[in-house]
Amino acid sequence: MCLLDAANGERLDSESILVQPTQSSVSPFCTQLTSLTQEQVEQGTSFEDACSVLRTRFKTKERMWASYGDYDRAIFEHQCKLQEVKYPFSAGHINVKTLLAAVYGLKHETGLSKALNLLGVSCWSLWARVSEHRFPRRE
């Protein structure tokens, strides 16, 4: 989760929240894709507690939020219904995938890798920043 000042692009606050899976385990493919292991997510928090952090620390009911595509919004709604947890976000959702296509005059929405290339951002440099945030170096 990242709180962003939309006016200047400054990151005001961020936190990685690992949620303990209740119905599945982390596959080798997921570990390769995300670097997260089953052991790590087992140390995570419950979905209900994660939603509480979003509501209290990030004030997500009071702010618009964005994701690349509609999957995150849909899966949060589904999980909240499934686990009978209060939906942590406001109704104001920005689908950045659709927004990017509109702003750049694309005929179709594009995947994240192509979008990053269009914006001049290397996937690997982005991954390095995300990894450093998730697993900061300890001196």
Positive or negative, the Cα torsion across 94, 131, 77, 80? negative
95: alpha, beta or left? (left if phi > 0; alpha if psi -120 to 50): beta
pLDDT at 31: 87
Closest by Cα among 51, 47, 33 to 88? 51
pLDDT at 124: 63
Q: What domains can you pick out in the chain, each with its CATH number?
A: 2-134 (3.30.420.10)
pLDDT at 128: 54
pLDDT at 122: 75
The ranges of the chain with pLDDT < 50 are 136-139
Q: CA–CA separation, 92 vs 69, rounded Å? A: 14
Taking the model in full, what pTM does it have? 0.79
pLDDT at 126: 56
pLDDT at 55: 96
